[in-house]
Amino acid sequence: MKRDPLLPLRDKLDAEKLSGGPKHWRSVEHKAGEVDIEVEFPSGTGPLTAVQRRDVLKLAGATFALAGAAGCIRRPEDEIVPYTHQPEHIIPGIANTFATAMPRSEGGLGLVATAFEGRPTKLDGNELHPSSLGASDVWAQAEILKLYDPDRARAPLSGGKAVTWADWDTFAKTHFAKYAGNGGTGLAFLLEHDEAPTVERVLAAALARLPNSKVFRFDPLFPANTHAGAAMAFGAGARVHHDLTKAKTVVALDSNFLVEGPEHLRLAKQWGLGRKSKNIDEARGMNRLYAVEGALTATGASADHRVRLSSAQASAFLRAVVGELAKANPAVNAAWGGPAPAGTEKMVAAVAKDLLAGGLVLVGERQPAAVHALAHAVNAALGAVASGAMRVTAVPETLPAGTVADLKTALDGKAVETLVILDVNAAYTAPGALGLAESLKKAQTLVHAGVMPDETSKLATWHLPLAHFLESWDDVRGWDGTAAVVQPLILPLHGARSRVSLLAQVGGADKTDDRALVEETWATLGGKAWRQALHDGVVAGTAHADNAAAVLNADGVGAAVASLTPPALSKDAVEVIFSYGHVLDGRLSNVHWNQELPDSMSKLAWDNALMVSPALAKELGIASGVYKNRYAADVVTVSVNGASVDVPTFVLPALGAYTAVIQRGYGKSTGEVAAGVGVDVAAIVPVDGRVAWGAKLTKTGKSVDLCSTQDHFAVPDPMNELTFAQMSGSQGDERMLHLGSRAIYRKNTLKLYEEKPNFAHEGDIPANLVVAGTAPHQPLKPLQPTKAFDYEGQQWGMVIDLTSCIGCNACTVACNAENNIPSVGREQTLLGRELHWMRIDRYFTGDVDDADALHMPMACAHCENAPCEPVCPVAATVHDEEGLNSMAYNRCIGTRYCANNCPFKVRRFNYLDFTVTGNVYRDPHQAERHETLKLQRNPNVTVRYRGVMEKCSYCTQRIEEAKVAAKRRGEDRKQLKDGAVTPACAQSCPTDAITFGNINDPTSRVHALKKSDRNYEMLSELNIRPRTTYLARVKNTNPEVG
């Protein structure tokens, strides 16, 4: 057994600090001291698959072939292939950026796409677009990989067989001519809800021609309750927008508004702005966030107070707050009030008091429309409209459309002969209770147009490859109505057609060219404004107008609220929440970046599982947990509403006691990446909701392994593993190192920050600490090396603000896209070999049942005293003159000593050739099909081969680009302006939690943050002097409940 280095100090140290196990814990098992993980390089490999055996033979063959060839080939012949007709604006080696936009269920998002020689490689947010403000999220970033997905259909499929577009045109001409004759009787369209102007216009024209045809809409991601709630409060067509810069207090009621839902990027940015501070004076103005939730979301983790209540009880909490508010503010209708859920009385009073001083209640999509309406009523009564914190706009009427349930009725009643589906995977995403897949088979002709072939296209008579939004002309409307034109960056890779064209074709229009149709929609703009709109990525002045006439329908709200009857929960009647994670409803399941991206909370990758609370797990005898290097999960049968499904369980601290959460989008049967990953839970999804109540969980006795990265790359625990404590033993009591406060993650409440502005540095080892030599004649030796560093010129550094980091993972995907980071697949992730340069560590503190979750982004910290450098036998990792810890891949021989010596555990090793043969697309026979993926790669970053170490480079390619650009202009490349270089992570961050720049430039933002009293070095006791430092988190807790 490892000797306890703290043994001589045990009795002197704060007993409480030591007895509770680690202060910040990664998993339930880590807290209990049971985790038995080889944190560095887990031993063992996966079983050799047949494919791998073939690889061995292939490699052996290649070795001989190369050995023979190397002798006679002088050098490989290479070609330069210039253009014949030079396209305008394309300079090989220089990236072009274009504004475009992405259609989304919750309103389109403006993006800026980067393209090299005509191939898009990266997507970022558009600063001019009101829903993005320059930020992007994991889903937007992932679209670039979806564009190049090798599984996309190369030709239309008729009855599963590849045919040509000419065949389709011939079929369409005769088939749809029939409907032109009968006014469209028997013809139906199924679309998503994205309010795109041209699609709406083309559809309206089709309906005018075919008045008897039907339109149905189905989109599991459409915020239907949010939409209906606004209509309930302010009348049909109303939409409510919030402005968090005008709210001191925000109450998130079962809402993950920072990461998902309409305008979440803007809301996150505004919320982050309200939390920025360099010192206590600025921190006093901080906003306060209360989260009331049963699921554990990123918003809950970011909140100052998290009230653990089930989704069912959320409405009761709000009603209790309303009752409290009514006492102080006569504008609030006391009739809407109600009793507080047990144990929340104090919190209700505190929330009400804060709201009275100016606040907003935001309600999540899971809550019924009545709760949304009630929140709008409360916000309005508290003067949010007057203060500008809330805005009511009028949304123009959309075409009348049926729901998916109506579609089923129509299909079953044989009222639909031909169903045209535009990129809706209804057979997979429709609630299982509906049994839509069976009904779809009843349509005589099922035409499915989709970017990816999917479960629905399997049932379809025709599958038509749909152009990705980066391949077609289109337009979108943001949630606030701002229109943006979708500009194609590339011609359709596989000859796909755009949705606008296809809709026009089946609707019988003469004109089907997508560009012409979009231009026609915006014909009123005129040439200059049109070009400006394309350039900016937004059409000026198209946001929905404020609805000045909006009057609160108090009676309607009152009646709806009164009818709410929250169900009671128990261990036999659990509430099951269906959430949409990184793969959404399955539309991004085949994007391996998102599959491999660990969930913000559970850190599950390549898997979905039923999250259960530790209390429920105990009651039901569920023993899922970490054993050795794997997460062994008990499989339970979830039975609800007469349907059941077997799912593995994951014990997640801080969940509501009887709340269970599971992500959708897994267990798909199509897609080389997605097929067979996780479990499809559609069977138990209720028809009209994201929550099922009254579920019963029964153990099946089976157990499976889950892929969770929560214990991967664990940073050594300063409490137990650092031997500096032994050294300090000789220093006497006054030299006592405050081990407890030398935490990796440092945080405090605003009140204690006020008392101790230096809290982030408590317990740091004094820089001049010396220890006596072992023999009397030896001089005092410094505990830490005193090598001096020269800070001349440009010195790069980064500060990550833990107060505003929301753990949304956007930085990780941005880093993947920018730095050509391959995914390693599920098997390799289980072995701890994922290659993400940027990871987000999630820690818990406190009691398992009511833990606080913390997020800490981790990437190479570019230590000045980098421990990785002296151990490299070939000097493959060395410092450069601007403070970067650079990594020369071509020098690396793969000893892995550096990763072993890295205390942050941020170095990644290519165990296999993950880029070509070892990635998630393993079948070598398909290698040619996978060529499309190469088009995504950033030409400015080396593609690494097997046996090479890699890590965050501070996006050195961007630094070099900026320096060369300065050089071209004749400016000093050693004095770049602040903001000239932004790494991919900082660029994508919705809350601007990551700041990068020259720490030597007194005018730079990063310099100012480094001077903040909250700025601390992680593991400063090792004297490694990391260039990435953190701003300790300040929680603005309410002293009355806090």
Partner 1 sequence: MAQIFPKWTNEIPRLSALFVGFAATFGTCAIWYWASPKHTDVGYAPTQPIPYSHQLHAGEYAVDCRYCHANVEKSAHAGVPPTQVCMNCHKQVKADSPLLEPLRKSWADGTLDKDGGPIRWKRIHKLPDYAYFNHSAHVALGTGENRAAIGCATCHGRIDQMVVVKQTQPLSMSWCLECHNNPAPNLRPVEELTNMSWKQDKAYAAKAKQIARSLDPPGRTVGVREPMLDPAGRPVLDEHGHPVIIQRPTAGCTGCHR
Residues of the shown chain interacting with partner 1 in the complex, contacts defined by CB under 8 A: 74-75, 77-86, 91-94, 770, 779-780, 782, 786-790, 792, 878-882, 884, 886-890, 940-943, 953, 956-957, 959-960, 963-964, 967-968, 970-972, 974
CA distance linking residue 1029 with residue 799, whole number of Å: 5
CA distance linking residue 711 with residue 760, whole number of Å: 25
Strand intervals (E) in 839-981: 839-845, 852-858, 877-879, 885-887, 908-909, 949-950
Cβ of residue 788: shortest distance to partner 1, in angstroms?
5
Cβ of residue 305: shortest distance to partner 1, in angstroms?
45
Question: Nearest 5°: phi and psi at 779?
Answer: -75, 170
CA distance linking residue 836 with residue 821, whole number of Å: 7
Residue 279 or 975 having the CB closest to partner 1: 975
Residue 519 or 869 having the CB closest to partner 1: 869
Collect all residues with Cβ–Cβ distance below 8 Å to 351 and sequence separation of at least 6: 249, 251, 290, 321, 324
Residue 755 or 880 having the CB closest to partner 1: 880
Residue 605 or 986 having the CB closest to partner 1: 986
Cβ of residue 360: shortest distance to partner 1, in angstroms?
45
For residue 394, give the 3-state DSSP assignment. strand
Cβ of residue 958: shortest distance to partner 1, in angstroms?
9
Cβ of residue 915: shortest distance to partner 1, in angstroms?
12
Cβ of residue 792: shortest distance to partner 1, in angstroms?
7
b/e sequence 211-246, b meaning 16+ C-beta within 10 Å: eebbbbbbbbbbbbbbbbbbbbbbbebbbbbbbbeb
CA distance linking residue 198 with residue 216, whole number of Å: 17
Tokens standing for residue 19: 């007895």
Residue 33 or 782 having the CB closest to partner 1: 782
CA distance linking residue 553 with residue 392, whole number of Å: 13
Residue 162 or 964 having the CB closest to partner 1: 964
CA separation (Å) from 600 to 310, 418, 865? 20, 42, 31
Residue 85 or 161 having the CB closest to partner 1: 85
Residue 94 or 399 having the CB closest to partner 1: 94
Cβ of residue 466: shortest distance to partner 1, in angstroms?
23
Residue 14 or 960 having the CB closest to partner 1: 960
| Cβ atoms of 379 and 557 closer than 8 Å | no
Strand partners, 363: 253
CA separation (Å) from 83 to 90, 96, 752, 954? 10, 17, 65, 34
CA separation (Å) from 498 to 191, 450, 469? 14, 10, 8
> H/E/C letters for each residue in 465-476?
EECCHHHCCEEE
Cβ of residue 933: shortest distance to partner 1, in angstroms?
17
CA distance linking residue 1000 with residue 519, whole number of Å: 50
Cβ of residue 1019: shortest distance to partner 1, in angstroms?
22
Residue 882 or 992 having the CB closest to partner 1: 882
Cβ of residue 670: shortest distance to partner 1, in angstroms?
30
Residue 192 or 950 having the CB closest to partner 1: 950
Cα angle value 272/275/281 (rounded, 5°):
155
Cβ of residue 834: shortest distance to partner 1, in angstroms?
22
CA distance linking residue 959 with residue 942, whole number of Å: 15
Cβ of residue 866: shortest distance to partner 1, in angstroms?
11
For residue 96, give the 3-state DSSP assignment. strand
DSSP state, 717?
P
Helical (H) or strand (E) element with 753 = helix 750-755
Cβ of residue 70: shortest distance to partner 1, in angstroms?
11
Cβ of residue 937: shortest distance to partner 1, in angstroms?
11
| Cβ atoms of 285 and 317 closer than 8 Å | no
Q: Which of 691, 1030, 614, 685 is nearest to 859 (CA)?
A: 1030
Task: For helices 369-381 and 554-562, give the axis angle rounded to 10 degrees.
Answer: 130
Say which residue the tokens 């409307």 belong to.
Answer: 477
Residue 64 or 83 having the CB closest to partner 1: 83
Residue 86 or 774 having the CB closest to partner 1: 86
Residue 211 or 766 having the CB closest to partner 1: 766
Residue 274 or 797 having the CB closest to partner 1: 797
Cβ of residue 942: shortest distance to partner 1, in angstroms?
5
Residue 849 or 869 having the CB closest to partner 1: 869
| Cβ atoms of 985 and 138 closer than 8 Å | no
- Supply the Cα-derived Rg of the chain in whole angstroms: 29
DSSP states of 419-439 as a string?
A: EEEES--HHHHS-GGG-HHHH
| Cβ atoms of 353 and 1040 closer than 8 Å | yes
Cβ of residue 552: shortest distance to partner 1, in angstroms?
58
CA distance linking residue 327 with residue 382, whole number of Å: 13
The count of C-alpha atoms lying within 13 angstroms of the C-alpha of 905, restricted to the half-sphere facing its C-beta, is 18
Q: Which of 947, 915, 945 is nearest to 931 (CA)?
A: 915
Distance, first Cα to last Cα, the chain: 41
Cβ of residue 67: shortest distance to partner 1, in angstroms?
16
Tokens standing for residue 357: 């001083």
Burial of 947 (0-12, 13-18, 19+ CB in 10 A): middle
Residue 891 or 1011 having the CB closest to partner 1: 891
Cβ of residue 968: shortest distance to partner 1, in angstroms?
5
| Cβ atoms of 861 and 1018 closer than 8 Å | yes
Helical (H) or strand (E) element with 201 = helix 197-209
Residue 621 or 779 having the CB closest to partner 1: 779
